[in-house]
Amino acid sequence: MDHAPLPLECTSETGEPEASRALIGRSMGRWRTMIGRRVLARLAISNVAPSLEITHLDVLDAVRRAEPEGEVTVGTIAGMMRIDPSRASRIVGEMVARGALRREASQADARRIIVVMTELGQQLMGEIQAVKRNVIDSVLADWPEEDVASFSLLFDRFVTSFEQVCTTPGKDTD
């Protein structure tokens, strides 16, 4: 992956808003390629649990993110992953068989089945997150701490705004 410096007129260093936006767009294209290939997830899985598939990791992550909001159902997971509920149910079943998740009756409505992360699932997620943090630490190793702090806030703000724009009803989300 060659990242030769761009001519000054093509970078945000000129102070031109168009150049800054163009640089963001090009960087997003490179980032999208890596995200599309699930580079970080594949690295984490290969280091922690080579027998897992990326969809298994996605289900665990969906449960982890949804649990603080309340009871997690297969429907919740399907919605978060933007997949069919029957597919989500099948993946949840695989993770139940592996011992990373368990199904239990809802405390609010015993007719409803919820999905709960087991100790093994929590351990897996902790190890996966540690691998991801190590990669991020490696990427940022030579950055001044002030840059890391600024970038973390700006990147979160950018992603939050991007989510808001792209999840507005009637908008195409690519």
Q: Provide the 3-class DSSP secondary structure of residue 102.
A: strand
Pure H helices in the chain: 17-36, 39-48, 54-66, 74-81, 85-97, 119-139, 145-166
Q: CA-CA distance, 44 to 158, in Å (whole number)?
A: 25
Band of pLDDT at residue 11, cut at 50, 70 and 90: very low
Over the stretch 116-133, which tens digit does the pLDDT of each residue have?
Answer: 999 999 999 999 999 999
Over the stretch 23-45, which tens digit does the pLDDT of each residue have?
Answer: 999 999 998 888 888 888 888 88
More confident residue, 3 or 153: 153
Close Cβ partners of 160 (under 8 Å, ≥ 6 residues apart)? none
Q: Where are the domains of the chain?
A: 51-126
Would you state the pLDDT for residue 4? Answer: 45
**For 56-62, what is the mean pLDDT?**
95
Band of pLDDT at residue 15, cut at 50, 70 and 90: low
The CATH number of the structural domain formed by 51-126 is 1.10.10.10
